[in-house]
Amino acid sequence: MKRRAARAISKIAKSAPKPRPDALIDPKVLQELVDVFHSAGVADLEVERGGLRVRLRRQEAVVAGQSREITVPVSEALRQSGPVETPASLAETEGLITVTSPIVGVFYRSASPETEVYVEEGSYVRKGQVLCIVEAMKLMNEIESEVDGRVVKILVENTKPVEYGEALFLIEPGARPEA
Amino acid sequence: MKRRAARAISKIAKSAPKPRPDALIDPKVLQELVDVFHSAGVADLEVERGGLRVRLRRQEAVVAGQSREITVPVSEALRQSGPVETPASLAETEGLITVTSPIVGVFYRSASPETEVYVEEGSYVRKGQVLCIVEAMKLMNEIESEVDGRVVKILVENTKPVEYGEALFLIEPGARPEA
Amino acid sequence: MFKKILVANRGEIAVRIIRACKELGVRSVAVHSDADADAHHVRLADEHLCIGPAEPALSYRNIPNILSAAEITACDAIHPGYGFLGENAHFAEVCESIGIKFIGPTSENIATMGDKSNARELMIRHGLPVLPGSEGEIASEHEAAAVAAKIGYPVIIKASAGGGGRGMRVVNKEEDLAHAFQAAKAEAASAFGDTGLYVERFFLEPRHIEVQILADERGRTISLGERDCSIQRRYQKLIEETPSPAVDDRLRRELGRVAVEVAQAVHYRNAGTVEFLLDKDRRFYFMEMNTRIQVEHPITEEVTGIDLVKEQIKIAAGMSLPWKQQDVKINGHSIECRINAECPEKFTPSPGRITRFHPPGGPGVRVDTAIETGSEVSCHYDSLIAKLIVHGVNREESLARMRRALDECVVEGIKTTLPLHRRIFDDPDFQKGRFSTSFLERFFAAYSA
Amino acid sequence: MFKKILVANRGEIAVRIIRACKELGVRSVAVHSDADADAHHVRLADEHLCIGPAEPALSYRNIPNILSAAEITACDAIHPGYGFLGENAHFAEVCESIGIKFIGPTSENIATMGDKSNARELMIRHGLPVLPGSEGEIASEHEAAAVAAKIGYPVIIKASAGGGGRGMRVVNKEEDLAHAFQAAKAEAASAFGDTGLYVERFFLEPRHIEVQILADERGRTISLGERDCSIQRRYQKLIEETPSPAVDDRLRRELGRVAVEVAQAVHYRNAGTVEFLLDKDRRFYFMEMNTRIQVEHPITEEVTGIDLVKEQIKIAAGMSLPWKQQDVKINGHSIECRINAECPEKFTPSPGRITRFHPPGGPGVRVDTAIETGSEVSCHYDSLIAKLIVHGVNREESLARMRRALDECVVEGIKTTLPLHRRIFDDPDFQKGRFSTSFLERFFAAYSA
């Protein structure tokens, strides 16, 4: 399974406050952007508004003596939480929940080839409802939803192998079928 | 000769002059950006506004193909010009001329132990006047001043070995004895 | 030969195994924890996948996830390396049962040798030299006292399930025995969940001498010379060398013969190491057998020219050993230094980002590592970050070469044992080859005095 | 032994020499140009000083500054490495005259072997096999035509002062001779300031086989096996290996015997290399002798276990060779790849900053280099940035190991010949050892077709 953890790139639009007329950009505004950038845990931030464009990029460099100060704790935290791919960061910015595989195995959308799939994209699910099966060592492990909500996206094809921490579903929590 | 070429650190005058109306960018504005950039711990900062674009990138970021742009030209230029030590950079900022050794050898301030030294600190010299001798392979090489001026500092002790490019004297060019 | 091997490890040994796979033309699959997504073994392997979070118990020791990973990537063999599942008989057994070849000894070999008092009994039955001591486990402090009275003080109490110095107590006189016995028992219970203890004669100033063996699936077994691992701190080896300054050709043949007999006594397969204690009178005693590839295997590779990890794979694939005992030649002398991410005085771990790594190079220098500039040394794992190995025509050249390599080696951003290694190589006793397992203790005492 | 050695070179060979000094416990002085103030050889040496600007003629070839540097640092010997002053008889002579030991052959050795037609004549007088050709220099195209008619076409015209392929012309038939003669003469004049030419039989598909020799100051001379350097482009070697796939034990003994006779014919001292052309019928002919340590010396070190640079220093210090010919054993097989900072297709230099360097490691891999991440490759100097050297039990293991090492090696920021090396190692003819000096030419033709 050749698979590299992709670098999340998220675009954030923030309304930049009015700069002083004589400055290229108000340092305070820039500092605020930097703070948001850091807490966002993204690799790249670009903001453009009314002819002002600001771009920030995460340090990847390794320079003797400097790296400790540069290393951004957030990216470390992200890495700790697994091979986060684009969907995961989407989830972060849009309030979606990512269901990841807790084990290594093969992803199945139904209990057997003859039975119906557990969920479709758009399905509403309840907390504890089975979303899929991950088969490992001939054991069928049911993966349940941890929230009530709507399945926004199914990220893995039926019968494909998945690694630990791999994103399987995006769920919009709290969503309910219209009455 | 245990001698490390010290990294020349030239001090850039902090009191930035008032920007002329035709200046590219107000140095103060730029300095503010740089300060934020440094404390931000990001790799890349780009700000664009009203046709002015400023891009800052951290030095030595290990990214193929980019390093050349990042390198700060001053340090590069200094390195190219040899093992320049602090006196040389002083010379740059204060308009002094550094006389360096064109060969490897032993530095002598006089033609022989019995004779007088060629120059002292404070001596006024004429272009072509002998400043010292560098002995190499039993040959006495006279080192002449290339300018009229005043010897501000003698940087090497008598009878000490010198390497190529080693700074020997600081000369204030154009200085003349008061009438 | 196998088509694809899963490497169930991390760090330098995972890199070492992947290198062997590459040279054999076998595909490799790296598994890794969340913390190791960018690790060197992951980048080197043909395929890789994540098997769990940073904690070893949930990733590198996670048997279900590792076996699933082998299954979904269609691996036909697993190499466990050392540590983690390296001597886990259960894991080897499960691999055997599901038809994935475990590259190492049989699960039975691991189980037999893993029980230290059992292994000892077995060696006694085969007439092989063991340390004077109890026959099997002792039930009480009274029994321990009886044994000690017979074999004479000082004695050492050891845990049957032991390793790494835990559950061990040296007792110099009878009145201290009861207390030491209870302490060792409590420690063994908490460290291994097993209170089995045994008693042995304790030797002052012994050398730790081990013999590398290889056995193919048909049972042909050869020895590949000894390694002197006496430079250790609390049973953690720091410097190893071969040949040992204390072993001559005749003793080497004798050690090799006994090591092969030990292996054959348990129908041992694949690579293994028989550890001996060598006393001042050059008598040696079986201590235990390590049923895995060892950290210090490269020095044996350097002097024999035999790639032990490739041999492990070839043996597991059913190939016969191409050498007879008399084909094994010891060429020159080799030393290994284990560079740990530790404070060199107190051995406290020093995790963090390596801001600069410059390995030594040139003639006779080998570096086995998984780090480079920018690597992160995680607090979750072993502190070994690099092994410097040198090879020279004799011990004198080896020593000079290692001193030179240690000087060249640069690790910035974290603390390492490099300064300690440099000091040890300046020590006259070490230079003359005059040392025992208590060398480091005395060295520190002299240094801090 | 010397107290302090000045290393009159830069790059990997300067590092190599400093390593030898360190292992011998001799202090080393690095000299450097302005451009190399931060170079690795400068950092490794015990002392260092600047001897001139970046241009080699004003620094690394600047004899007065180098000798001054030796004097003011109180060095008692100078090692010239290869290139720069490596084969400069005048420099060796000046060193001799002022009592600083030149670590290499005598100035007379250098002068004698530097004049190619003179060396050839000398070999003929000693009854040693030379390429059929003119006896000494030829004065005119008429004389050239007479020689060619006698030895048969094709012939090659070479400059007496030649090297690196300049002043050379291959002539296939008589009518082309006059023009080629004039062209070679003009080229020789401009390249070497010396119009001396000679004519030799030209062989198709020969191998370039060279033999390493060592001779101590008492005249004891031994050979250390051959190196096959047939993989070359315009006389620039790219890959070398030992033993040669084309040389068996008997031919090796014969080559070694003749190489020793060549050296003894000129009372050669220190390390040297006798180059032979090996034709398809396994006849060999003396071509020339290189009176310096060579770039590819490490492969001989790997298979013999003899540190050639340390031996150079020991010989220069008056020590006798500790080996007789029969003590020299060839162990396994070794290959070297020269990694150049060049575009791998067109061989145009690719200077610049190396943004990432990750050398290969593990068993049987040696790296000789002066670069690391962040190093600047200057356009002023040779494009060789690293030598990858592997050692295996046989050619098969060597090949697999080099393929693995090439895959591991990462150089970013500049272009290198790494991709070309990888492709050559995939070539079936190369893998089978079927190649001659025209291999690369055909390889490129096939690749671009």
Torsion D79-D83-D84-D87 (CA) sign:
positive
DSSP secondary structure code for residue C253 in this structure: H
Q: Which long-range contacts (CB under 8 A, 24 or more apart) does C152-158 make?
A: C152/C201, C153/C202, C154/C201, C154/C202, C154/C204, C155/C199, C155/C200, C155/C201, C155/C202, C156/C199, C156/C200, C156/C201, C156/C202, C157/C181, C157/C184, C157/C197, C157/C198, C157/C199, C158/C116, C158/C184, C158/C197, C158/C198, C158/C199, C158/C200
Q: Please report, in angstroms and rounded to a whole number, the separation of the first and last CA atoms in chain B.
A: 44
Question: Which chains pack against A, by 3+ Cβ pairs within 8 A?
Answer: B, C
Determine contact: A175 vs chain B, CB below 8 A: no
The string over D116-148, giving b where at least 16 C-beta atoms fall within 10 Å of a residue's C-beta and e elsewhere, is bbbbbbbbeeeebbbbebbeebbeebeebbebb
Chain A hits for C68, Cβ within 8 Å: 103-105, 136-137
CA pair distance D297, C242, nearest whole angstrom: 27
Name the residue among D49, D355, D412 with its Cβ closest to that of B163. D49
Determine contact: C1 vs chain D, CB below 8 A: no
CA pair distance C226, C300, nearest whole angstrom: 8
* C-beta separation of A136 from A105 below 8 A: yes
pLDDT recorded at residue A86: 39
pLDDT recorded at residue A32: 63
Determine contact: A59 vs chain B, CB below 8 A: yes
Greatest C-alpha distance within chain B: 71
> Tokens 């033709």, residue?
D445
pLDDT recorded at residue B95: 87
Q: Which residue of D19, D46, D303, D354 is the best one to mutate when testing the C interface, meaning the one whose CB has the most C CBs within 10 A?
A: D19
The residue annotated as part of the active site, out of D120, D207, D252, D292, is: D292
Q: Which of C116, C44, C76 lies closest to C291, judged by CA?
A: C116
Chain D hits for C359, Cβ within 8 Å: 359, 361
Instruction: Please state the CATH superfamily assignment of the domain spanning residues C207-448 in this structure.
Output: ATP-grasp fold, B domain (3.30.470.20)
Judged against a pLDDT cut of 50, whether residue A60 lies above it is answered with: no
* C-beta separation of D226 from D233 below 8 A: no
Under an 8 A CB cutoff, do C400 and D306 touch? no
Looking at the complex, report in whole angstroms how far the Cα of residue D149 sits from the nearest Cα belonging to chain B: 54
Stretch A2-25: mean pLDDT: 33
Most confident of the following: A9-13, A85-89, D182-186: D182-186
pLDDT recorded at residue A109: 97
pLDDT band at A27 (very low <50, low <70, confident <90, very high): low
Stretch D251-269: mean pLDDT: 97
Burial of B18 (0-12, 13-18, 19+ CB in 10 A): exposed
Determine contact: A73 vs chain B, CB below 8 A: no
Name B143's bridge partners: B132
CA pair distance C296, A14, nearest whole angstrom: 57
Under an 8 A CB cutoff, do B63 and D355 touch? yes
Determine contact: C366 vs chain D, CB below 8 A: yes
Looking at the complex, report in whole angstroms how far the Cα of residue A34 sits from the nearest Cα belonging to chain B: 6
State residue C291 phi and psi, 5-degree precision. -100, 55
* C-beta separation of C361 from C408 below 8 A: yes
Determine contact: B24 vs chain A, CB below 8 A: no
Q: Which are the contacts of C179, defined by CB distance < 8 A and separation ≥ 6?
A: none
The residue annotated as part of the active site, out of C292, C338, C395, C401, is: C292
Under an 8 A CB cutoff, do A71 and C48 touch? no
pLDDT recorded at residue B26: 54
State residue B162 phi and psi, 5-degree precision. -130, 150
Task: Quote the tokens at residue D120.
Answer: 């050839």
- The ipTM value here is 0.76
Looking at the complex, report in whole angstroms how far the Cα of residue C119 sits from the nearest Cα belonging to chain D: 33
pLDDT recorded at residue A6: 27
Name the residue among D38, D69, D374 with its Cβ closest to that of B104. D69
Summarize pLDDT for D366-377 with one digit per residue, the tens.
999 999 999 999
Q: Which one of 3.40.1190.20, 3.30.9.10, 3.90.420.10, 3.30.1490.20 gives the CATH number of domain C132-201? A: 3.30.1490.20
The string over A147-162, giving b where at least 16 C-beta atoms fall within 10 Å of a residue's C-beta and e elsewhere, is bbbbbbbbbbeeeebb
Query: Which residue of chain C has the CA closest to A159?
Result: C72
Determine contact: A30 vs chain B, CB below 8 A: yes
Q: What is the DSSP string of A40-58?
A: HT-SEEEEEETTEEEEEEE
Determine contact: C121 vs chain D, CB below 8 A: no
Most confident of the following: A15-19, C318-322, D199-203: C318-322
Under an 8 A CB cutoff, do B63 and A61 touch? yes
Looking at the complex, report in whole angstroms how far the Cα of residue A40 sits from the nearest Cα belonging to chain C: 20
Name the residue among B79, B103, B137 with its Cβ closest to that of D37. B79
Under an 8 A CB cutoff, do D72 and B68 touch? no
DSSP secondary structure code for residue C326 in this structure: G
Domains by residue range for chain A, with CATH: 2-57 (no CATH), 86-173 (2.40.50.100)
Judged against a pLDDT cut of 90, whether residue D322 lies above it is answered with: yes
Please determine, looking at this structure, whether the domain spanning D4-103 carries the CATH number 3.40.50.20.
yes
pLDDT recorded at residue A68: 26
pLDDT recorded at residue A34: 63
Task: Quote the tokens at residue D99.
Answer: 């009592």
Determine contact: A53 vs chain B, CB below 8 A: yes
Judged against a pLDDT cut of 70, whether residue A145 lies above it is answered with: yes
Chain D hits for C296, Cβ within 8 Å: none
D423 a catalytic residue: no
Give one word for B3, left, alpha or beta, with left for phi > 0 and alpha for psi -120 to 50. Answer: beta
pLDDT recorded at residue D156: 93
Chain B hits for D98, Cβ within 8 Å: 137
Chain C hits for A65, Cβ within 8 Å: 355, 412-413
Better-predicted residue by pLDDT, C136 or B24 = C136
Chain C hits for D19, Cβ within 8 Å: 362-363, 404, 408
Determine contact: A81 vs chain C, CB below 8 A: yes
CA pair distance D85, D47, nearest whole angstrom: 20
pLDDT recorded at residue D78: 98
Name the residue among A1, A64, A83 with its Cβ closest to that of C355. A64
Question: Which chains pack against C, by 3+ Cβ pairs within 8 A?
Answer: A, D
Determine contact: A54 vs chain B, CB below 8 A: yes
Determine contact: B66 vs chain D, CB below 8 A: yes
pLDDT recorded at residue A39: 57
Stretch A15-40: mean pLDDT: 52
What percent of chain D stands above pLDDT 70?
Answer: 99
Under an 8 A CB cutoff, do C64 and A103 touch? yes
Q: Which of D421, D392, D396 lies closest to D407, judged by CA?
A: D421
Most confident of the following: B58-62, C170-174, D18-22: D18-22
Chain D hits for C19, Cβ within 8 Å: 362-363, 404, 408
DSSP secondary structure code for residue B125 in this structure: E
DSSP secondary structure code for residue C47 in this structure: E
Average pLDDT, rounded, for chain B: 68
In chain C, where are the structural domains located? Answer: 4-103, 132-201, 207-448
What percent of chain A stands above pLDDT 90?
Answer: 42
C444 sits in which H/E element: helix C439-448
Stretch A76-93: mean pLDDT: 40
Task: Quote the tokens at residue D408.
Answer: 């591991």
Task: Quote the tokens at residue C356.
Answer: 């600069």
**Number of other CB atoms surrounding residue D448 within 10 Å:** 7
Give every residue of chain C whose pLDDT is below 70, as ranges: 163-164, 449
Give one word for C283, left, alpha or beta, with left for phi > 0 and alpha for psi -120 to 50. Answer: beta
Determine contact: A136 vs chain C, CB below 8 A: yes
Query: Which residue of chain D has the CA closest to B68?
Result: D353
Under an 8 A CB cutoff, do A161 and C73 touch? yes
Chain A hits for B26, Cβ within 8 Å: 22
pLDDT band at A40 (very low <50, low <70, confident <90, very high): low
pLDDT recorded at residue D344: 80
